[in-house]
Amino acid sequence: MTIDLSALGWDDAFAAAYAQHDLPGQRPARVSRVDRGICTALAADGPVRASLAGGLLARAARDAAALPCAGDWLVVRNWPDGRLTAEAVLPRRTAIVRAVAGEESFGQMLAANVDAVAVVEPVDPSPDLGRIERLLALAWESGAKPLLVLTKADLAADPLALAEQMPGRESGVEVHAVSARTGMGVDALRPLVAPGRTLGLLGQSGAGKSSLVNALAGAPVMHTQTLRADGRGRHTTTYRALIPMPGGGAVLDTPGIRLVGMFDTASGLDRAFADVTELAALCRFQDCNHAGEPGCAVREAVEDGTLSPRRFAHWQKLQKEQMLASVRRMKRESRERRRPARP
């Protein structure tokens, strides 16, 4: 079996980064899945399974973000005894990172090297605007192109009118109403999975991500399940997976996300809430807290109906969450710098 790596996104930039690793017995491969330290990856000669090399594990001990994740490009080494090891992760072009729950702020890598990130949200029973805004902040921070995909659009009375009401449009985010069952809107997403391009999916369980993958592939490549009796989604996908598309390109599907913590997403929040950020820049005082100070452009916009109270309140909440995560991260990094080096 042979695989065209260029169809999966391999290009001159990745080839240049790989040049220093271009040694006998080594070759590049793209991670499709990681299970308990074993990487399933796609190489030019077909799928391979590689364990993590000691050097890579040592780097990961200092920084967990160094661990491979779905979408990464690896340097895979063949050993004389038949073993395969992942020796290094090539520099990431984009990365989707969320905070791990806990007292200290750590980032969890969800996906790497995606060209676009689709926040997937079902129209039934109704879109959760707060969740959309939170996920769009992660999408903006990744460095990839963010978009919003409203699934199960055949269940909405007027899906196009609903799309017009979604957050993100003020920041230039494309909003697509899609139905995997009827095929509505699917063709508009196909350029995002053209040869050499990768589309990442973010959303809750039951949002229809797996059905969307199948619709884009034109075949049942992902297992799907019905919603539970209480209307909540089942975890159809329990791991992050890179799925090659027929004809080239790939989709990177992620497990259903219920809790999404902010991790180093200051610029992503500014992009996701561009309308609020622009208003804040017009306030009379640069350090305005938008809590009653004179000349507060944000409060004025809320009072005259230009900015919804819900959106303003959610922006404040995410700003506080981001600042808290930043403080925790800086404290952790300071402790680590003071920690005595091992002999």
Instruction: List the binding residues.
Output: 151-154, 203-211, 283, 288, 290, 296
- Contact criterion met (CB below 8 Å) for 217 and 246: yes
Q: In the numeric block, which tokens belong to residue 109?
A: 């890598």
- Chain mean position to CA 56: 23
Instruction: List the binding residues for GTP.
Output: 151-154, 203-211
Instruction: List the binding residues for Zn(2+).
Output: 283, 288, 290, 296
